[in-house]
Structure 1
Amino acid sequence: MPRPATLPTIDWKAVFDSGLDYPAWLAAAESPDQRDKLEAQRAALALEPQTAGTLAALPRPVHVIAIAEDWCGDVVRHVPVLQRMAEAGPMLKVRYITRQQWPDVFVRFLTNGGEAIPKFIFLSDRFVECGSWGPMPEGCRELIARGKACGDVAAARKKVSARYEADGNRREVLRELLGLVDVAASREP
């Protein structure tokens, strides 16, 4: 049996260091309207005290590389959640990159073979990859996959929109992202 291809090693620290922090990323936005939407979403999102406390008490740094571009609706919806989390947890460090900036990184995080953003890559304090998230919550990704399978992506997107509407506080996203933060901050298995 042939061996699978070995992907080149990624220098995650170099990728992280090349990224922009949120204010610089936002300032570089292609669209002033999208920038305003991102900021409005971020400002409107309040974390529950327990969530903020958990993030404030992280035992060690967690690095997140966010592959995100402001033109994308899912980026506008989900980046503010990640940013609010980073604001609540000083040990949660986030840097933003584009697909074009690091194509060899992005190609590892395709969604069902397609390009979709945002993608959040969670790294430990030693820049070891611990998990990834995106471009939407798991249940929504499943709906889109089912829509593709049965040839009705439009109906799947309507269901995803309804889920988004029903979860205005982004609890599903927060729960999934907090799980990945917890893994990346782990001190033991």
Structure 2
Amino acid sequence: MEHKISEKVIKELIYNAISRSFSYNEYRVLLDQLVLKSGTTGVEQSQMYIDYTKLNQQRMKRLDKTIKLSEDVKIRIGEIPYKMIWLVLTESWCGDAAQTIPVIHKLALLNENIFLKIIQRDEHLELMDCFLTKGSRSIPKLLAIDPISNTVLWTWGPRPSEAALLAEEYKKEHGELTPHFKEILQVWYNTDKGKNTVVDLMKLLSLE
């Protein structure tokens, strides 16, 4: 956690966020509605972000149909005996979110003890600022929460571990993440097909 804020306040922020959250299906409906009216979520309402939202809606629709999980993953996730809320901070324009939230959703569906909730980052900046990535409000950010105590068990994001390493190495060489890197990253996501996200989460769940 980056900000010096009391655990009590964080729990209150989490409680309030969950009460205002979307289910995955509600979030997908929101994206469909945004595309119909040429809109986007978040503070920045630029044409670029509107275009990203449209692209992400198409990607998520495709991934909902094509993501495949192994039988081993299905069995091990299905055997988790305790309840968790997976609270994801995101925005409709976020490319990494479009590639990974459908995977997170597929995993959550495997066990009735896992409740996936989605919130918009820019409407919950105080909570976001408790879980920065190297000082940045990077999304998506997944918080695994004990629903009884509202304690954060672990966090994940904003990218799968291999993609994060790819970004880190590119930045070291080029000084910044250029538009060309986005092309490289998209090729990586297309090749990976959600596998690295699954591996990351299995490790955090102590199932790997």
Same fold (TM over 0.5): yes
- Alpha carbons 2:160, 2:200 under 8 Å: kept: yes
- Distance in 2 separating the partners of 1:5 and 1:110: 8
In the TM superposition, residue 137 of structure 1 has moved relative to its aligned partner by: 1.1
Other-structure match for 1:49: 71
**Percent pairwise identity:** 18
- Alpha carbons 1:65, 1:94 under 8 Å: kept: yes
| Residue 138 of structure 2 corresponds to residue 134 of structure 1 | no
Give the secondary-structure state (helix, strand or coil) at the position aligned to 1:71.
coil
Q: Structure 1 residues 14, 152: closer, same or farther in 2, change over 3 A?
A: closer
Which of 18, 23, 26 is 1:24 aligned to? 26
Letter in 2 for 1:21: S
- Distance in 2 separating the partners of 1:5 and 1:64: 21
- Alpha carbons 1:22, 1:96 under 8 Å: kept: yes
1:5-154 matches, cutoff 5 A: 6-8=4-6, 9-11=9-11, 12-29=14-31, 30-31=34-35, 33=54, 34-126=56-148, 127-150=150-173, 151-154=175-178
* Unmatched 5+ stretches in structure 2: 37-53
- Distance in 1 separating the partners of 2:145 and 2:93: 26
Other-structure match for 2:203: 179
Question: 1:10-49 CA deviation, whole Å, 9 max, x = no partner?
Answer: 1223322321111111112233543343122112112111
- Distance in 2 separating the partners of 1:163 and 1:40: 16
TM-score, L = length of structure 2: 0.75
* Unmatched 5+ stretches in structure 1: 184-189
- Alpha carbons 2:5, 2:130 under 8 Å: kept: no
Give the secondary-structure state (helix, strand or coil) at the position aligned to 1:175.
helix
- Distance in 2 separating the partners of 1:49 and 1:124: 26
TM-score, L = length of structure 1: 0.82
- Distance in 2 separating the partners of 1:23 and 1:61: 20
- The alignment yields a C-alpha RMSD, in angstroms, of 2.4
- Alpha carbons 1:63, 1:94 under 8 Å: kept: yes
